[in-house]
Amino acid sequence: MTLKKSTQVCIIGSGPSGLLLSQLLHNEGIDSIILDRQSREGIESRIRAGVLEWGSVEALQQAGVGERMMKEGIPHSGFDIAFDGDRHRIDLEGLTGKQVMIYGQTEITKDLIGKRLAEGCDIVFSATKVQPLNVTDKRPTVTYEKDGEVFEIECDYIAGCDGYHGVSRKTFPASIQKTFERIYPFGWLGVMVEKPPVAHELIYANHSRGFALCSMRSETRSRYYVQCSLNDKVVDWSDERFWEELSIRIGPETAANLQTGDSFEKSIAPLRSFVTEPMRYGNLFLAGDAAHIVPPTGAKGLNLAVADVRLLSRALIEDYKNNNDSHLETYSKTCLKRVWKVERFSWFMSTMLHQFNDFSGFDKKMQRAEFDNIVDSEAAQRNIAENYVGLPLE
């Protein structure tokens, strides 16, 4: 026996993008059901991004979940780029009038889940065999299983916010889908430690031994990364080895302020650039990692997902409130124009700051020339700053 449900928008995925979309729609009286294959505990414990563009901050405030973020988050008005010991600050606020906010994605997810559940949203955790069906029909459906029972949700629209490995993108026919991808030949080894950060703002560093990033989640919790081989395993990297390598790459002057300790999270993440086109098929819309992935250099992944959700929520609200589907019709085109600009920025930052085994002496000189051009050119700094704080939605 199949149990029936009905809603206006069925959202697949309860990461920040799916949750934020549900909240923005709820604020306008539009109903949604959220499905996720993970448990609530698993979702709320995932360690992810921590740098928010100001547009993302405003979107969370608009959704009504910004109170804790504004109390506990750390506004940053700039960041540093370093190259073989030389260091230059990008003055975000001075160049653009905007800041970014340090606030962990884990905390955003907790804030959104708490608010959605408090307001009675039907969030189905640990759902299995989730499948969008008949997505070109006027009333598509999504089926899933939970606790041995089969459910079917009838809806107007489906939002695929279920990430790179989710089912939503796989629903698109191969005949209309184009994918673009670049796999980077290295990974990031990241650690979390309960120690104050080495600097007040982020430091992105290119060293002859590889890239390093000094980041943070709070005034007492630091997040650090070093470029590593894709063949490396976490067990290959003791804390002692990590701190030694990080200290070399950030240089003795910066390392003098580094407070080390036992890491409580350590993982290796591969880097890739990925885009699928289009982002709509029938009444199924993709958002976030379901449609695109950027390397983490430049902190764009979560912010790009939030931008998608801001555009999709606007389109759905216009359709329901004003019977105007023009924004739904242009959703994919509007998103992808911005997506490719963000992909370009992340590719640029990654190419300039990492060591590539196949780079010639010429290529390495070009990396240095890029850095020197940034240092010497206010226009180049402004371009980086504009991208870092977030491009306009359209």
Report, as an integer, the average pLDDT of 123-148. Answer: 97
Residue 112 gets the label, from left (phi > 0), alpha (psi -120 to 50) or beta, of alpha
pLDDT of the residue at 319 = 98
Q: What residue type is assigned to position 32 of the chain? A: S
**pLDDT tens, position by position, 77-102:** 999 999 999 999 999 999 999 999 99
pLDDT of the residue at 51 = 96
Residue numbers annotated as active site:
76, 204, 296, 300, 388
| HSE-CB of 238 using CA atoms within 13 angstroms | 3
CA end-to-end distance (rounded Å), the chain: 46
| Domains of the chain, start order | 2-180+272-389 (3.50.50.60)
Collapsed DSSP state (helix, strand, coil) of residue 237: coil
Q: How far apart, in whole angstroms, are the C-alpha atoms of residue 241 and residue 185?
A: 22
Computed over every residue of the chain, the mean pLDDT equals 97
Report, as an integer, the average pLDDT of 246-267. Answer: 97
Q: Which two tokens stand for residue 40?
A: 């609530």
Judge contact between 275 and 336, C-beta under 8 A.
Answer: yes
**pLDDT tens, position by position, 292-319:** 999 999 999 999 999 999 999 999 999 9
pLDDT of the residue at 1 = 86
pLDDT of the residue at 55 = 96
Q: Which two tokens stand for residue 328?
A: 């739904």
pLDDT of the residue at 48 = 75
pLDDT score of 49 more than 80: no
> Please, what is the angle between helix 54-63 and helix 301-322, to 10°?
40
| CA-angle at 59, arms to 40 and 15, nearest 5° | 20
pLDDT score of 46 more than 90: no
Of the candidates 48, 49, 268, 284, the one whose C-alpha atom is nearest the C-alpha of residue 166 is 284
Residue positions counted in the chain? 394
Q: Which two tokens stand for residue 133?
A: 């069906």
More confident residue, 49 or 50: 50
**253-257-261-266 Cα dihedral, nearest 10 degrees:** -60
Of the candidates 264, 258, 255, 188, the one whose C-alpha atom is nearest the C-alpha of residue 226 is 188
> DSSP alpha helices (H): ranges in 251-325?
252-255, 301-322
Return the percentage of the chain with pLDDT > 90, whole number.
97
Q: Which two tokens stand for residue 13?
A: 């995925």
Report, as an integer, the average pLDDT of 202-217. Answer: 97
| CA-angle at 95, arms to 92 and 96, nearest 5° | 80
pLDDT score of 157 more than 90: yes
Return the percentage of the chain with pLDDT > 70, whole number.
100
Cβ neighbours, 10 Å, residue 218: 18
Q: Enumerate the β-bridge partners of residue 215.
A: 223
Report, as an integer, the average pLDDT of 196-210. Answer: 97
pLDDT of the residue at 17 = 96
pLDDT of the residue at 394 = 80
pLDDT of the residue at 351 = 97
Judge contact between 258 and 250, C-beta under 8 A.
Answer: yes
- Assign 212 a pLDDT band (cuts: 50, 70, 90): very high
Report, as an integer, the average pLDDT of 171-179. Answer: 97
Q: Which two tokens stand for residue 21?
A: 């979309």
pTM here is 0.96
- Assign 239 a pLDDT band (cuts: 50, 70, 90): very high
- Assign 265 a pLDDT band (cuts: 50, 70, 90): very high
- Assign 210 a pLDDT band (cuts: 50, 70, 90): very high
pLDDT of the residue at 392 = 93
